[in-house]
Chain A
Amino acid sequence: IAGITQAPTSQILAAGRRMTLRCTQDMRHNAMYWYRQDLGLGLRLIHYSNTAGTTGKGEVPDGYSVSRANTDDFPLTLASAVPSQTSVYFCASSEDSLRGNEQFFGPGTRLTVL
């Protein structure tokens, strides 16, 4: 069982380019999340999805979009990357979003926008 996989592991991207970070989980969890981690700021929620077909905005959603076409996949898209989006991005999932269940995290994607 892989848990949560993220791709790519790392990426260097020119400003203005479009980029999709991929996230797949095999635990059949209903809820999924995207966080960005920046030094000294901890993790901040970008977008979340309580169940397939629904998404919501977190603390720092600007410049990002997500979709949840099925239970397993939750891609994060940067439509036009900017240097301030340089960060480490973590995808997470939990059994559901109602009871504060444990969130399981992927290994992260390190993104550099030049």
Chain B
Amino acid sequence: AQSVTQPDIHITVSEGASLELRCNYSYGATPYLFWYVQSPGQGLQLLLKYFSGDTLVQGIKGFEAEFKRSQSSFNLRKPSVHWSDAAEYFCAVARGSTLGRLYFGRGTQLTVWP
């Protein structure tokens, strides 16, 4: 069963516009949640993660994400997108007794118009 859903395959925004990438998970208890970014031809880099505590987490490169238990969501946001943010973004979860094993969403490709 799909643990992580990223509903948007491709998003296009203008430089300077705000951004929100959606992520929903299916798991009864609170999972460990991650957002990774992949630039073309590169491996994945961690943007931020949520384990517990404050539901708004800050990450690198000006990104933040908010955990909403009631909506089973962990959406990624950035107030003002830069052209260098164009990349593919992956939401991932680790859960229960297999905390070391990540289950990835299918990714959202972000295009930034100048």
A residues neighboring B (CB under 8 Å): 4, 31, 33, 35, 40-45, 48, 50, 58-59, 90, 92, 94, 96-103, 105-108
Q: Is the CB of A44 within 8 A of B101?
A: no
B residues neighboring A (CB under 8 Å): 6, 9, 32, 34, 36, 42-46, 49, 51, 90, 94, 99-107
Q: Is the CB of B42 within 8 A of A107?
A: yes
Using Cβ atoms and an 8 Å threshold, which residues of chain A touch B100?
31, 48, 50, 94, 96-101
Give the residue of B43, B49, B99 whose beta carbon is less than 8 angstroms from that of A97.
B99
Give the residue of A40, A48, A100, A106 whose beta carbon is less than 8 angstroms from that of B43.
A106
Give the residue of A42, A45, A90, A105 whose beta carbon is less than 8 angstroms from that of B101.
A45
A48-B101 in contact given A42-B90, A42-B107, A90-B43 (Cβ < 8 Å): yes
Using Cβ atoms and an 8 Å threshold, which residues of chain A touch B51?
100
Pick from B9, B94, B105 the residue with the most CB of A within 10 Å: B94
Pick from A4, A97, A100 the residue with the most CB of B within 10 Å: A100
Name A44's closest neighbour in chain B (CB-CB): B104
Name B48's closest neighbour in chain A (CB-CB): A102
Using Cβ atoms and an 8 Å threshold, which residues of chain A touch B99?
97-100
22 contacts between A and B (CB under 8 A): A31-B100, A33-B101, A40-B9, A42-B90, A42-B105, A42-B107, A45-B101, A59-B103, A90-B43, A92-B44, A94-B100, A97-B99, A97-B100, A99-B100, A100-B51, A100-B94, A101-B100, A102-B49, A103-B102, A105-B36, A105-B45, A108-B43
* Extra contacts besides A33-B101, A59-B103, A107-B42 (15): CB < 8 Å: A4-B43, A35-B104, A40-B106, A42-B90, A42-B106, A44-B104, A48-B101, A92-B44, A96-B100, A97-B100, A100-B51, A103-B102, A105-B45, A107-B43, A108-B43
Alpha-carbon distance A33/B99, docked complex (angstroms): 13
